[in-house]
Amino acid sequence: MPELPEVETVRRALDEVLGQTVVLVTVISPSMVRGIDPEAFVRSLEGERIEEIRRRGKYLLFSLSSGATLIGHLMMAGRLLLKDPGQALPPHTHVILSLSGGRELVYQDLRHFGGFRLVEPGGTLPMGLVRMGPEPFDPALTAPVLARMLRERHGKIKGALLDQHFIAGLGNIYVDEALFEARIHPETGTDSIGSARAAELLSAIQSVLERAISHRGTTFGTYMDLNGRPGENAPALKVFRREGKPCPRCGTPIVKFRVAGRGTHICPRCQVKSRRRGFSRRPSSSPTDPKPKPERTSRVSGGGIRSRVKSS
């Protein structure tokens, strides 16, 4: 599934088409063009030169000569492919951009979840893009900043990391990997992660993503890069889709369960729910244990003091 490393891999390969002009647009599946009439999409896009291609979170943004922006999202099964006109169209092809360089940029999507938008200058961007959280490699995202973001949020850490408004670019694979790397249980409350562990988490997120980018992404099923090559990061994964296999750190079998509606993989020994002193939960709670009782008193509100004991 394309997450930040996969989309970044595609973006880098797309440098090849910079400066080229879109000479012909073929929309095979009108539903893959969103927020604009497909005929208007074709009319507006034809003749545009591609000036710049950026990535923001999991979005691809093509800056065009008129000032408009072509926005693409691969969602789960979308693929961009650069091919010669003679080559057969791959199955599930929805949109084709024929480029002045002689090649064709093909969008295929097995599940019809992804697609394109075209935003005119001054037009409204998709909300997901407007409200996108910081990039994981943004220098402004320091450990203290992340620690504060976590303190100000409620809910499970996995839910927060999957939320693009919280932090951009992570998906199920790299959230599981980063939490393993940082030894944090995915159901840990965001507001119980202290500054030290927030710093470990940020560094885990960055190293997991860096390694995946250097391997040109992770391929399990459908993801391929612009030239049809699979990514090579799968063997570097330590917990994702490795249930039953030994934890690379301690040998304990990896377990899979469900958090935030997603399949979640952890080492039950390395990733414990809470390590805070003074809050020792029942001796050994396994991830599949049903919660005995919420035992949550109403949250402090209305002038309550939020962090009185452990200020960072």
Partner DNA sequence: TAAATCCTGTCA
Partner DNA sequence: TGACAGGATTTA
Q: Is 3 a catalytic residue?
A: yes
Catalytic residue among 11, 55, 58, 151: 58
Of residues 83, 103, 151, 156, which one binds DNA by CB under 7 A?
156
Interatomic CA distance for residues 242 and 156, integer angstroms: 22
Report the helix count and the strand count for the chain, using DSSP H and E: 7, 10
Q: Is 262 a catalytic residue?
A: yes
Interatomic CA distance for residues 302 and 88, integer angstroms: 64
- Min dist CB 99 to DNA, Å, is 26
Instruction: Compute the Cα dihedral for 39, 1, 57, 209 and give only its sign.
Output: negative
Q: Should residue 58 be labelled a site residue for DNA when binding is judged by CB under 7 A?
A: yes
Q: Should residue 111 be labelled a site residue for DNA when binding is judged by CB under 7 A?
A: yes
Among residues 22, 47, 42, 23, the alpha carbon closest in space to that of 32 is found at: 42
Which amino acid, residue 307?
Answer: S
Site string for DNA, 256-295 (x = CB under 7 A): x-x-xxxx--------------------------------
| Region of residue 292 (phi > 0: left; psi between -120 and 50: alpha; otherwise: beta) | alpha
Q: Should residue 193 be labelled a site residue for DNA when binding is judged by CB under 7 A?
A: no
- Min dist CB 134 to DNA, Å, is 14
> Which of the stretches 12-20, 81-89, 126-134, 141-149 binds DNA when contact is defined by CB under 7 A?
126-134
Q: How many residues bind DNA (CB under 7 A)?
A: 34
Among residues 274, 281, 272, 232, the alpha carbon closest in space to that of 250 is found at: 272
Q: Should residue 172 be labelled a site residue for DNA when binding is judged by CB under 7 A?
A: yes
Helix axes 195-214, 172-181, angle to 10 degrees: 130
Residues 91-110 that bind DNA (CB under 7 A): 110
Q: Should residue 229 be labelled a site residue for DNA when binding is judged by CB under 7 A?
A: no
Contact 29, 240 (CB under 8 A): no
Q: Should residue 133 be labelled a site residue for DNA when binding is judged by CB under 7 A?
A: no
Binding stretches for DNA (CB under 7 A): 1-3, 57-59, 73, 75-77, 110-113, 126-128, 153-156, 159, 162, 164, 171-173, 221, 256, 258, 260-263
